[in-house]
Chains A and B, each alone.
Chain A
Amino acid sequence: MTEPILKLTDVSVQFGALRAVDNVSLNVSPGERRAIIGPNGAGKTTLFNAITGVLPPTAGQIVFDTHPISRMSPHRRAALGIARTFQITNLFPSLTVDENMRLALRGLKRRKFSMFGTGTLDPDENTLATRSLEIARLPTRRQVLVKELSYGEQRQLELALSLAAQPRLLLLDEPAAGLSPAERSMVADIIRSLPRDLTLILIEHDMDLALGLVDFVTCMFEGRVLVEASPNDIRANSAVQEVYLGKARHHG
């Protein structure tokens, strides 16, 4: 077995009395596509926040590609090649699509400190921007303000921004949240078309959507890892069914 590119050991994130993430251990291999599923409040987003450094773990170790990153700030983790999207759309609404892409492209470049240079994209940057927007199927409308995009387009831009810096690990937090069925299947197609060597972790509520996209599934419940299994075994797993049907009954 290859060395995992991401290794979590007994990671916890505590908010006062609440352990939103409770002793989670997780190994993700290079190039693997992993889904994290689980009901509302299971701790999925909090786990992403621990991996990206938004909320450093209160206990446990995180190692990314041999670098211990548990205490590292978010921007330094990004520099190692970790990128993410946000469950609640998190863009630069008062800037244009093009300016959003500029920021995404220059996060790891010296040029971000250029104080008297012109702001426009150079040809290399333009190629990368165009490619990321194409992958996210948002190739046009570069001069439009982001707040004027439709919600669906904003979700696509979420993806384009996270791809621009060519990360090695991509964390997608419910990329299809709030989309129509047609848009959801487009997002699924986008994820399928991502480069195969990119390691990917996908948070998704909808099992039908998630299971068709990944190699392996982790189901979380109340902060803990409930089950880890292949997509086929997850469906049949009684503990997973219990959690999901139990929730369904609450809602019903």
Chain B
Amino acid sequence: MTSLAPTVVTTNKSGLRSALAWVGSAAILFVLIALPFVLKSYHLGIATQILIFAILAMSVDVLAGFAGRTPLCHGAIFGTATYFVIYGVNTWGLPLPVAMMIGVAAATAVAAVFALLAVRVSGVYFLLLTLALGLVIWGICLRWSQVTGGENGLRGDLRTGALADPATFYALVLVISLCAFFAMRRFVNSPFGLTLRGIRDSESRMASMGYNVTLHVFLAFTISGFFAGVAGAIYAVFNNFVSPSAVALAQSVQGLLMAIVGGIGTLVGSFVGAAVIIILEQFVSAYTERWQMVLGIVFILIMLFAPEGIVGKSRTLWHRRK
């Protein structure tokens, strides 16, 4: 009997662990569902914004954390969808769902073009090339003022009917962001997703085993752009307004920082990263104008003490506790 004791203990422990993980996930889900009943509409708007940016951060994570290619253009892809949705409703008179689909399609198309240009490079060249491509979109939005409204941007009137209610809109965004999360999780765990992690570890080995590395990176880039477009299309409805800052470099950097702060390669970290950065921004902006500086300091602290991000760090600590 005594000889059995250690095995019993270890099974209990790992059983306990996965039970805890389940309870934790259920609790988080419960909180997310309960939020509309406890938060004032202003704060519910912040929660909605967090969910939208979590989708953007996850789309960055698919490329940065899994394929090992860190992009700095996803803000531009995101904002392309935002522009198309508002322009589609305002000028073409499209119904909102159709305009949103067109926005996502346009963002995906932009991502595909960017991917064609950027797939052959990696590392810092990939970072810089995607940065430059994003700047092109920003330049177009700024200068082509007949269409984009230039610096003044475009104002929409998209939050009509049921969407005008913050709780309803939050619930809709929650459902979409959870669907996006589960879709991307399924994607990164699929056979194709595994090829991306293979490419991250060794492109030369992948090529020698028959993989067309550029094709795989192209597909991953385009799919990740699709999700950035989904986020951007929802943002159009959320914000009712778009200006060049929606496609600016700062937006791309923000999406990347959220993914990194939460934990690159974890997907779920994007929710944490988006929450930390957006809540901190709300909080800090109330006291000082220097939000960018505070963001920089937070980022440096994360890089120094938890380069694997909040979720990544928690996982390591969790697994070390034997």
Contact = CB atoms under 8 A, between A and B. Distances in A.
A112 interface: yes
Contacts of A227: none
A103 B187 contact: no
Interface string B160-194: 00000000000000000000000000110111111
Contacts of B195: 103, 106, 112
A22 interface: no
B299 interface: no
Interface stretch (A25-33, A90-98, A132-140, A230-238): A90-98
A168 B146 CA distance: 62
A79 interface: yes
A113 interface: yes
Interface in B203-251: 204-213, 223
Contact of A75 (B187, B198, B211): B211
A75 B190 contact: no
Contact of B198 (A78, A79, A86, A95): A95
Interface residues of A, number: 35
A189 to B, nearest CB: 24
Nearest to A93: B201
A67 B210 CA distance: 16
Nearest to B209: A107
Contacts of A113: 191-192
A204 interface: no
A102 B195 CA distance: 9
B208 A52 contact: yes
B202 interface: yes
B159 interface: no
Chain B interface size range: 20 to 34
A115 B266 CA distance: 18
B197 A118 contact: no
Contacts of B211: 75, 103, 107, 112
A93 B198 CA distance: 9
Most A CB contacts (10 A, CB to CB) among B187, B195, B207, B210 go to B210
A54 B190 contact: no
Given A75-B210, A108-B210, A86 B205 contact: yes
A103 B189 contact: no
Interface in A67-90: 73-75, 78-79, 83-84, 86, 90
Nearest to B186: A116
Nearest to A147: B201
A112 B191 contact: yes
Contacts of B193: 115, 119
Contact of B190 (A103, A107, A118): A118
A114 B198 contact: no
A78 B210 contact: yes
Given A86-B205, A90-B202, A92-B202, A115 B210 contact: no
A117 interface: yes
A111 interface: yes
B189 to A, nearest CB: 6
Interface string A41-56: 0000000000011100
Nearest to A102: B194
Contacts of A5: none
Contacts of A99: 194, 197
A161 B202 contact: no
B191 to A, nearest CB: 5
B213 to A, nearest CB: 7
20 contacts: A74-B208, A83-B209, A86-B204, A90-B204, A91-B201, A92-B197, A95-B197, A95-B201, A102-B194, A103-B194, A103-B198, A103-B211, A104-B209, A111-B191, A116-B186, A116-B190, A117-B190, A118-B190, A119-B193, A161-B205
Given A86-B205, A94-B200, A119-B191, 10 more contacts: A54-B207, A78-B208, A84-B208, A86-B208, A90-B205, A92-B201, A94-B201, A107-B211, A161-B205, A165-B209
